[in-house]
Amino acid sequence: MSQDAPEPIARTSLIETLRKKLQEDILSGRYPAGTSLPPERELAARYGVTRTSLKHALIELRSFGLIAIRHGIGSIVEDVAARAGADALQYMAQREGGWDLRLFVDLLEARALIGGLFGRVAASRRTEADVESLREALGGARRTSRDPHGLQVAENLFMRRVTETTHVRTFVFLSNSISAVYARTLDAFGGAFEDGDWVTGSLEEIFDEIRDGSSAGAESAMERYLTESGKRMIAALEEQSP
Amino acid sequence: MSQDAPEPIARTSLIETLRKKLQEDILSGRYPAGTSLPPERELAARYGVTRTSLKHALIELRSFGLIAIRHGIGSIVEDVAARAGADALQYMAQREGGWDLRLFVDLLEARALIGGLFGRVAASRRTEADVESLREALGGARRTSRDPHGLQVAENLFMRRVTETTHVRTFVFLSNSISAVYARTLDAFGGAFEDGDWVTGSLEEIFDEIRDGSSAGAESAMERYLTESGKRMIAALEEQSP
DNA sequence: ACTGGCTCAGTGGATGAGCCACTATAGCAG
DNA sequence: CTGCTATAGTGGCTCATCCACTGAGCCAGT
């Protein structure tokens, strides 16, 4: 198997940087919920960019539910807890360059609980085709079980297949939002995939339960694996950034 | 009680319209996943807008995971199923002005299943403060049980409180993404809240289970209510748009 | 005193021309 | 065959302007 692309160097565009900065200022309470942001012209001057660029960043913030932009009025800061959607997680979990460990732990717990639910539903609805698709993904994991990075990719695929087996499209989107938080920093979690036998063994167990249509079994197998896997991811993270 | 504001007239900005149009063209397969969008200059000319405006729309699409923009290369269409996050749901469920009923049914099913999970976790982790907060929200629903619109708002608040009772912040964000799909069109679902006694009765049942710490009870009460409520929402929708 | 219309200042919406920066490719020099 | 360079195509970003919407205050008519 060919080596995967070596993760293109992260370039930070101005807009990207600007959005992060604004977001940080909002999340840190500098611009409290319910208040107006300074006018675009002033904000642009303050951050030293054009109004056009600033606007790009504002529109992106709006799409995450962090602000509401109203013609003739201004940009109003929304209550994050009340409005921000799941896609905002990927930006909230990485603040100021580092990880927000508390939120990340929270996220992984949610992943484990929801994964359990997915396993349960998947077991009760799997078709022949689903089982085959899962078997194939499992095979991929087995073949690459000694390469942490490859295994990580294979595990992700397997989990995606489990989610698809629920036949609930909304679950796939929810799952994407969660994966997106750590997907772009896969390398940071290599340490969680060094014990290849444990990973493949766990996936096999999950596969067996789903194949057998055992809802309760699949639920607990998923939840157990994801919980332990989450712990290892956290550990890997703490090793890197002391 | 005073009459609520009569829903401000929805204004559609150019960027909003443009984003919808592009999105529709992507989702409908006109620009298949993996291929490049036409160059910005050409796209702008084709849609009859400035490149600046087009860019605003593209950036928004990027934030939903529908495209990837690469300097010097172009905008590549992402595989929606693989990348689009939960916030994309609100736009996918309302295509071409009407509702995508299939996706909406799917969404409501997911809501019921996840709601069950939330109920279970909430029951196992509720604190005194949570119970009080839930009781207060329940009281609000009781007081407005004869006004469908008011009841709907109160029910939303109650469900939010249940989610908060899980003490898993990620759940709140996931929940926001789901609510966002129908939150902006609350009026369309008034029909689902006409039987005030049934709604408040159901909420009371959920409250009791959570208060008593009965995980299994809370899970099934939530799932039952949300399933039935979802059916009524669909019915209300079908009445309106034959 | 109240109503309705008008004006004005402040704010976001949108434009279009222009230049910079990045990427891939083809052709040339060694 | 290798490695450099020129070039064309694409997105990144700026700038200067004008349009459209909102809210507040003023003023004339009733």
The terminus-to-terminus CA distance of chain B in angstroms comes to 33
Query: Residue A54: which nucleotide is closest by CA–C1'?
Result: D13
C-alpha to C-alpha distance for A144 and B155, rounded to whole angstroms: 49
What average pLDDT does the structure give for chain A?
Answer: 91
Task: Return all residues near A74 (Cβ < 8 A) that are at least 6 apart.
Answer: A36, A37, A39
Please determine, for residue A7, whether its predicted confidence score (pLDDT) is greater than 50. no
Rg over CA atoms, chain B: 21
* pLDDT given for residue B97 in this prediction: 65
Q: Which of residues 96-155 of A touch strand D (CB under 7 A)?
A: none
Provide the 3-class DSSP secondary structure of residue B47: helix
Task: Return all residues near A102 (Cβ < 8 A) that are at least 6 apart.
Answer: none
Q: Chain A residues with CB inside 8 Å of B58's CB? A: none
DSSP state of A192: G
Contact criterion met (CB < 8 Å) for B173 and A89: yes
* pLDDT given for residue A66 in this prediction: 94
Q: Which two tokens stand for residue B152?
A: 């709907």
| Cβ–Cβ contact B38 with A under 8 A | no
Domains and CATH numbers, chain A: 14-84 (1.10.10.10), 89-240 (1.20.120.530)
C-alpha to C-alpha distance for B122 and A124, rounded to whole angstroms: 24
Contact criterion met (CB < 8 Å) for B86 and A173: yes
* pLDDT given for residue A4 in this prediction: 41
C-alpha to C-alpha distance for B218 and A227, rounded to whole angstroms: 23
What average pLDDT does the structure give for chain B?
Answer: 91
Residue nearest to nucleotide C12 (CA to C1'): A71
Q: Tell me: the pLDDT tens digits for A35-83? A: 999 999 999 999 999 999 999 999 999 998 999 999 999 999 999 888 8
DSSP state of B11: P
Q: In 3D, which of A61, A87, A85, A86 has the Cα closest to residue A75?
A: A61
Please determine, for residue A151, whether its predicted confidence score (pLDDT) is greater than 90. yes
Task: Residue B238: count other Cβ atoms within 10 Å of its Cβ.
Answer: 12
Please determine, for residue B216, whether its predicted confidence score (pLDDT) is greater than 80. yes
Average pLDDT over residues B55-64: 94
Query: What are the φ and ψ backbone dihedral angles of B211, each rounded to 5 degrees?
Result: -60, -40
Q: Tell me: the pLDDT tens digits for B117-166? A: 999 999 999 999 999 999 999 999 999 999 998 999 999 999 999 999 99
Q: In 3D, which of B114, B62, B135 has the Cα closest to residue A64?
A: B62
* pLDDT given for residue B9 in this prediction: 66
CA distances from B102 to A97, B108, B234 (A): 40, 10, 10
Please determine, for residue B68, whether its predicted confidence score (pLDDT) is greater than 50. yes
Q: Which residue has the tokens 């929270």?
A: A106
The segment with the largest mean pLDDT, out of A18-22, A130-134, B89-93, is A130-134
Report which of residues B239 and A17 the model is more confident about: A17
DSSP state of B186: G
Contact criterion met (CB < 8 Å) for A170 and B110: yes
DSSP state of B66: S
Residue A132 CA distance to nucleotide C26 C1' (Å)? 47
C-alpha to C-alpha distance for B172 and B166, rounded to whole angstroms: 9
Please determine, for residue A8, whether its predicted confidence score (pLDDT) is greater than 70. no
Pick A60's closest partner by Cβ from B60, B113, B170: B60
Residue A71 CA distance to nucleotide D21 C1' (Å)? 6
Please determine, for residue B104, whether its predicted confidence score (pLDDT) is greater than 70. yes
Q: Is the Cβ atom of B57 within 7 Å of strand D at any atom?
A: no
Q: Is the Cβ atom of B11 within 7 Å of strand C at any atom?
A: no
Please determine, for residue B12, whether its predicted confidence score (pLDDT) is greater than 90. no
Q: Which two tokens stand for residue B4?
A: 């609520």
Average pLDDT over residues A143-165: 94
